[in-house]
Amino acid sequence: MSTQPRPGQNARLIVPRLVQPNEEFAVRLLIQHPMETGFRRDDSGKPIPANVIETINMEFEGETLFKGHVLNALTANPSITVMMSSKKSGSLRANWRDQDGNTGSISAEVKVVGA
Amino acid sequence: MLAHSVRNTRVASVLFYVLFYVVTCPPSSAQSPSRPYATDQLRSGASFMAQHLQKQQADDDQNPAMLWVDSGRALFERDCKTCHTEARGLATKLPRVTIDSTTKKERVITLESQINTCRSTRVKTQGANASTPYALESEPLLSLASYLAFSSRGMTQEIAANITQTVSWQRARAMFFAVQGKLDFSCAACHDKIAGKRVRTQAISQGHGVGFPAYRIEWQTVGSLNRRLRACFFGMEADVPAASDPILPALELYLAWRASGLPIEAPALRR
């Protein structure tokens, strides 16, 4: 199917609209990825090559928030929730790479009241 | 004594078949056919799921199907905006019945087939696969279908009043009531008669298609109602029709008629 886009291009990074300084909140990352295990076969019986996400990194204003070498540990279309808090507003960035070398990234702004 | 008991079994078996027929046969279509559930008794598939899944479906930030909605929105903005200014309500017009202009035969148009018709007749995209219809269950097709269904969330499907007079509806109804497969099931035997009870650990739903295209956990991806229906035949251990079989769109139409009054909740989360 030539119309299938490359995996891992589509994602959502979800943060609350507004948080209090030092308030703990959840950051949710959702990535569209089939996470092929290599154990499945297509309709003609050929094995589908394995391709899962290898690394996921999340950082807030240059500071590492989450760093994971995940491989088979996640389901298809993985969702990762990380708790964080901050005194100041800033931008949150996530990027990931799968075994085929497809990379993706997404960013979101965290707004802290009065900062 | 022996003859007596033989006669008794014969009487019993005749009685059994009469009862069986009464229980399983579809109501005669000569009268105006009635829906199995009154509008206030309709319950979507979500209400038969576990609490945590219901919560996950209700929260768009946790529903993985929203990823498909996102890419579908981008495709809609790129390809469909020239004709359709508003996406809301487009999905409520489907499925519907049309008469093919060349063969003079009835055809059921589903959301997916309408997208492909639009694509091959109106959409002018550049590149290698310009104006070619999307493959069934391909990601762009599911994305667009998810976005359109999502845009019509909360609305009900428009079903023509004379739909029960169409050949497609009647074929689909016969299929719905037909006992088939190794397990001697019919769709109606479970979804009309004993919804809410369990088959092993699974709660039997009323069998409405309003959540589709849906993210099915078993598939780990979004799939169309067409794929779900094929999975139904597989589950009944009956002959699974090909994806292009016209009975599947007809069944989609029948399900839409059966569920009329139930709001669209796609893209839903399903087991």
The two three-digit tokens of residue A31, written as one number: 């990535």
The CATH code of the domain that includes A97 is 2.60.40.10
What is the rounded average pLDDT of the residues B245-255? 94
Digit-coded pLDDT (tens) for B87-121: 999 999 989 999 888 888 899 999 999 999 888 88
Residues of chain B with pLDDT > 90, as a percent, come to 52
Q: Does domain B39-270 have CATH number 1.10.760.10?
A: yes
Q: Which domain holds residue A102?
A: 11-110
- The residue ranges of DSSP E strands in chain A, in sequence order, are 11-14, 25-31, 53-60, 63-69, 79-84, 90-98, 103-110
Q: CB–CB of B128 and A76 under 8 A? A: no
Tell me, yes or no, if B134 comes closer than 8 A to chain A by beta carbon: yes
pLDDT-based confidence at residue B20 (cuts at 50, 70, 90):
low
Higher pLDDT, B194 or B11: B194
- Residue B147 in contact with partner chain A when CB distance is under 8 A: no
Closest CA to B229 of B245, B220, B221: B245
Instruction: Tell whether the model's pLDDT for residue B3 goes beyond 90.
Output: no
pLDDT per residue as tens digits for the range A70-85? 888 788 899 899 999 9
pLDDT band at B264 (very low <50, low <70, confident <90, very high): very high
What's the distance, CA B15 to chain centroid? 35
Q: What is the pTM of this model?
A: 0.84
Say yes or no to pLDDT of B210 above 90.
yes
Contact B139 A4 (CB under 8 A): yes
Q: What is the pLDDT of residues B154-174, one digit of tens each?
A: 999 888 888 998 999 999 999
Q: Kindly state whether residue A63 falls inside one of the protein's structural domains.
A: yes
Among B59, B60, B67, the strongest candidate for a mutation testing the A interface, having the largest count of A CBs within 10 A, is: B67
Q: What domain count does chain A have?
A: 1
Residue A115 lies in a domain: no
Radius of gyration of chain B (CA): 21
Residue A24 lies in a domain: yes
Domain membership of residue A101 (yes or no) is: yes
Beta bridge partners of A59: A64, A93
